[in-house]
């Protein structure tokens, strides 16, 4: 597998404070990376860099060989812990929005047949994530877990190449969390999605990922706590069975694997 | 039981709502009848009968000079001015608020300007409005617009800033441009807040309307109140004030209902 995302010598500093120092990793397409580390060690900062919400102070990040665009765009989907869905849109419209915005640059809205098609496609994906019964509800009427399902569906309708998750299940009950893990893994298996997921929960990081990246400060100056930033101290491959399955699927010819991705290629 | 934990029940609640109104009316009519018993020609505190007569004269009798029904004519002209003023102010305020609250490049020059402009006392520049726009309808509408637009714009700017950054980023990952992001995310989220802001500035809008009508007008509720003041016609002024209050209260109620009906997703509408 070739390098899909390449992080080269990336530093992120805010004024005097060094948050990330000298990050270097390559990630192949389709990997599920979980990012763990103590609070304030820069894993969310790293996610923001991948998202394009922030630009690295030094170094560069390549996506498919190209320099990463310095602002969020449709190639990278994102799910935050909170405020990921639009409160003024129904569940169905929250997902259909992703189909409407790129196709209608003037009004951001589709009409007639195109609108019906977009809503059908959105409804299909929503059924898949278990929200088929709540299409006309508003997000505030949904439970926390349901809202995150919606946020994931909303990100996936764009068929992004990269999915970034910033503690997406941090506010959920343990039981609901397990369901969400199953859903996320199922969706990951069916697409060629590369996932980066920040989590506080170590066991979550180990169960879900095919690779876990541990962020930590290697050097520490007690008199100047901001002088050194975090690095990736451990980079451990996980769940070899899933890695192997994915590698095997990738080795198959495209006309066979094509059917596996059909759900998302429907657009 | 502590006072803070005591809640009025259904009937008690209604009684508590009506009590202050009843007390005010009782105090007024006691005073009125005392003064009228002293001097039947007293004009300061007219009785209910005198006020009813005045209402009949103003609202249900043709005016000899103009051939119209004065109260309704006054109401129509005032409401037209108020509606135009509020409408124009809402549109300008919304545009300025969105520009200043969403786009950092527009916020830098706009925010300080709006802050300063909202400190200009609108009534102090009323003479300028009369000089520039003449004594016609335009200057009265402009006074309302100038008076409440900065307030609306600043409020909406603040509300626009309160929209979580996560939502703006999410919209961009869904393929939104700046324009479609404003159109599909910012604007719909600000509309209910605009209605709430309008409810809050309704009082100021009426103030500016009546001030403008008092100074230069030939009809309108404010004009009439100030006109009959010359004859100390309290029997007309008091019903007019009650009528204006009722209109303002109904507009407030209407805006509240509209917010609830048009934006069922908006949590703030329930208050």
CATH of the domain spanning B59-270, picked from 1.10.3720.10, 3.40.50.2300, 1.10.10.10, 2.130.10.10: 1.10.3720.10
C-alpha–C-alpha distance, residues A222 and B240, integer Å:
75
- Confidence class of residue A264 from pLDDT cuts 50, 70 and 90? very low
Integer Cα distance of A35 and A11 in angstroms: 17
Domain membership flag for residue A11:
yes
Identify the CA nearest to B103 among candidates B158, B178, B34: B178
Residues of A whose CB is below 8 A from B180: 101, 104-105, 107-108
Does residue A97 sit at the B interface (CB-CB below 8 Å)? Answer: yes
Domain assignment present for A253: yes
Q: Are A122 and A100 in contact (CB under 8 A)?
A: no
Nearest chain B residue to A102, by CA? B175
pLDDT in tens, A146-194: 899 999 999 999 989 899 999 988 888 888 888 889 988 988 888 878 9
CA B75 to chain centre: 14
CB A163 within 8 A of CB A155: yes
Please, are residues A158 and A72 in contact by the beta-carbon 8 Å criterion? no
- Per the CB < 8 Å rule, is A53 touching B171? no
Nearest chain A residue to B192 by CA distance is A88
Residue numbers in A near B264 (CB within 8 A): 138
Enumerate residues 6+ apart whose C-beta is below 8 A from B226.
Answer: B213, B214
Rounded Cα distance between B250 and B260, Å, is 15
Cα angle, residue A217 at apex, residues A213 and A218 outer, rounded to 5°: 100
- Strand partners of residue A66: A63
Q: How many CB atoms lie within 10 A of CB B28?
A: 13
Q: Is B186 on the interface with A (CB under 8 A)?
A: no
Measured CA to CA in angstroms, residue A250 lies from A27, A243, A255, B68, B78 at distances of: 15, 11, 11, 86, 74
B184 interfacial to chain A (CB closer than 8 Å):
yes
pLDDT score of A258 = 54
Q: Is residue B236 exposed (0-12), middle (13-18) or buried (19+ Cβ within 10 Å)?
A: buried
Query: What is the ipTM metric for this complex?
Result: 0.86
Find, among A18, A29, A42, the residue nearest to A233 by Cα.
A42
Does B243 touch chain A if contact means CB atoms closer than 8 Å? no
User: pLDDT tens, A198-246?
Assistant: 998 888 888 888 999 998 888 888 888 777 888 888 888 888 888 787 7
| Predicted model pTM | 0.85
- Assess contact for B170 and A84: CB atoms under 8 A: yes
Q: How close, in Å, is residue A155 to chain B by CA atoms?
A: 7
Q: What are phi and psi of A196, to 5 degrees?
A: -120, 125
Q: What are phi and psi of B254, to 5 degrees?
A: -60, -45
Q: How close does chain B come to A192, measured CA to CA in Å?
A: 18
What is the chain B residue with the closest CA to A95?
B174
| Cβ pairs A/B, distance under 8 A | 88
Dump pLDDT digits (tens) for A110-154: 898 999 999 999 999 999 888 889 899 999 988 888 899 999 999
State the Rg of chain B over Cα: 23
If DSSP states are collapsed to H, E and C, what string results for B98-151?
HHHHHCHHHHHHHHHHHHHHCCCCHHHHHHHHHHHHCCCHHHHHHHHHHHHHHH
Looking at chain B, which residue has its C-alpha nearest residue A108? B180
Contact A88 B265 (CB under 8 A): yes
**Do both A46 and A112 map to the same domain?**
no
- Express each pLDDT in A20-62 by its tens digit: 888 889 998 889 999 998 887 888 899 999 998 888 898 889 9
Q: How far is CA B38 from CA A68, B42, B64, in A?
A: 89, 8, 33
Q: Is A95 on the interface with B (CB under 8 A)?
A: no
Given A160, A181, A209, the domain boundary residue is: A160
The alpha-carbon gap from B86 to the nearest alpha carbon of chain A, in Å, equals 25
Does the residue A170 lie in any domain? no
Pairwise CB contact (< 8 Å): B180 & A104: yes
- Taking CB atoms and an 8 Å limit, are B173 and A83 in contact across chains? no
Number of domains in chain A: 2
Shared domain for A257 and A228, answered yes or no, is: yes
Distance from CA of B163 to the nearest CA of A (A): 9
Claim to verify: residue A58 and residue A100 sit in the same structural domain: no
DSSP states of chain A as a string?
A: --EEEEEEEEEEEETTEEEEEEEEEEEETT-EEEEEESTTSSHHHHHHHHHTSS--SEEEEEETTEEPPSS--TTEEEE-SSS-S-TTS-HHHHHHHHHHHHH-TTTS---HHHHHHHHHHHHHHHHHTT-GGGTTS-GGGS-HHHHHHHHHHHHHTT--SEEEEESTTTTS-HHHHHHHHHHHHHHHHHS--EEEEE-S-HHHHHHH-SEEEEEEES---TT-TTSS-EEEEEEEE--HHHHHHHHHHHHS-HHHHGGGGHHHHT-
| Of B194 and A107, the one with more pLDDT | B194
Query: What is the DSSP annotation of B47-80?
Result: -HHHHHHHHHHHHHS--TTTSS-HHHHHHHHHHH
| Domains of chain B, residue spans | 3-43, 59-270
Domain range enclosing A218: 1-75+195-267
Inter-chain touch B172–A73, beta carbons under 8 Å: yes
Inform me whether the pLDDT recorded for A266 exceeds 50.
no
* Angle, in degrees to the nearest 10, between helices B48-60 and B70-102: 80
Looking at residue B68, its pLDDT comes to 85
Tell me the mean pLDDT per 10 residues along chain B, length 271: 91 94 96 92 90 91 85 94 96 96 93 92 90 89 94 95 93 93 94 94 94 89 92 92 95 94 78 50
Please, are residues A184 and A160 in contact by the beta-carbon 8 Å criterion? Answer: no
CA dist list (Å): A265 to A121, A133, A223, A259: 11, 24, 55, 9
Report d(CA A53, CA A12) in Å as an integer: 13
Question: Using CA atoms, how far apart are residues B90 and B183, in angstroms rounded to an integer?
Answer: 17
pLDDT of residue A70: 84
How close A157 comes to chain B (CA, Å)?
A: 9
CA distance A235 to A215: 9
Of the residues A50, A52, A89, A97, the best mutation for testing chain B's interface (the one with the most B CB atoms within 10 Å of its CB) is A97
For the stretch A32-62, what's the b/e string if a residue is b when 16 or more beta carbons lie within 10 angstroms of its beta carbon? bbbbbbeeebbbbbbbbbbbbbeebeebebe
């Amino acid at each position: 597998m070739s390098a899909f995302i390449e992080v080269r010598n990336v530093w992120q500093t805010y004024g005097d404070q060094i948050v990330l120092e000298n990050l270097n990793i390559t990630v192949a397409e389709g990997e599920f990376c979980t990012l763990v580390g103590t609070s304030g060690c820069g894993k969310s900062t790293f996610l923001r860099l991948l998202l394009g919400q922030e630009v690295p102070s030094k170094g560069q990040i390549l996506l498919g060989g190209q320099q990463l665009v310095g602002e969020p765009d449709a190639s990278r989907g994102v799910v935050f812990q909170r405020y990921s869905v639009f409160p003024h849109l129904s569940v169905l419209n929250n997902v259909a929005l992703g189909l409407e915005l790129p196709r209608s640059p003037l009004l951001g809205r589709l009409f007639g047949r195109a609108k019906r098609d977009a809503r059908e496609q959105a409804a299909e994906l929503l059924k898949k994530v278990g929200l088929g019964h709540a299409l006309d509800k508003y997000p505030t009427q949904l439970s926390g877990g349901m809202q995150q399902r919606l946020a994931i569906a909303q990100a996936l309708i764009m068929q992004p190449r990269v999915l970034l998750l910033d503690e997406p299940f941090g506010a959920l009950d343990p039981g609901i969390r397990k369901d969400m893990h199953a859903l996320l893994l199922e969706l990951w298996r069916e697409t060629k999605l590369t996932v980066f997921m920040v989590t506080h929960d170590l066991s979550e990081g180990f169960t879900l990922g095919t690779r876990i990246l541990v962020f930590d400060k290697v050097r520490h100056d007690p008199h100047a706590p901001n002088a050194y930033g975090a690095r990736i101290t451990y980079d451990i491959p996980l769940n070899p069975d899933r890695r192997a399955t994915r590698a095997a699927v990738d080795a198959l010819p495209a006309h066979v694997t094509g059917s596996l991705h059909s759900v998302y290629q429907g657009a | 039981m502590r006072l803070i934990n005591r809640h009025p029940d259904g009937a008690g609640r209604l009684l508590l709502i009506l009590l202050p109104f009843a007390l005010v009316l009782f105090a007024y009519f006691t005073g009125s009848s005392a003064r009228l018993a002293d001097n039947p020609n007293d004009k300061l505190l007219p009785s209910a009968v005198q006020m009813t007569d005045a209402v009949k004269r103003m609202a249900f009798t043709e005016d000899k000079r103009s051939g119209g029904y004065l109260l309704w004519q006054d109401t129509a002209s005032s409401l037209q001015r108020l509606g135009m003023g509020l409408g124009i102010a809402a549109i300008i305020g919304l545009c300025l608020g969105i520009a200043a609250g969403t786009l950092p490049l527009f916020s830098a020059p706009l925010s300080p300007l709006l802050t300063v402009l909202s400190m200009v006392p609108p009534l102090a520049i009323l003479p300028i409005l009369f000089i520039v726009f003449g004594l016609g309808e335009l200057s009265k509408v402009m006074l309302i617009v100038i008076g409440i637009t900065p307030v609306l714009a600043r409020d909406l700017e603040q509300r626009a800033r309160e929209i979580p950054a996560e939502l703006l980023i999410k919209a961009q990952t869904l393929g939104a441009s700046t324009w479609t992001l404003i159109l599909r995310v910012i604007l719909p989220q600000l509309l209910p807040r605009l209605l709430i802001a309008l409810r809050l500035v309704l009082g100021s809008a009426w103030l500016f309307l009546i001030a403008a009508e008092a100074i230069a007008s030939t009809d309108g509720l404010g004009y009439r109140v100030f006109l009959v003041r010359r004859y100390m016609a309290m029997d007309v002024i008091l019903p007019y004030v009650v009528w204006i209050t009722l209109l303002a209260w109904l507009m407030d109620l209407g805006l509240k209902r509209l917010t609830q009906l048009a934006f069922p997703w908006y949590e703030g509408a329930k208050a």
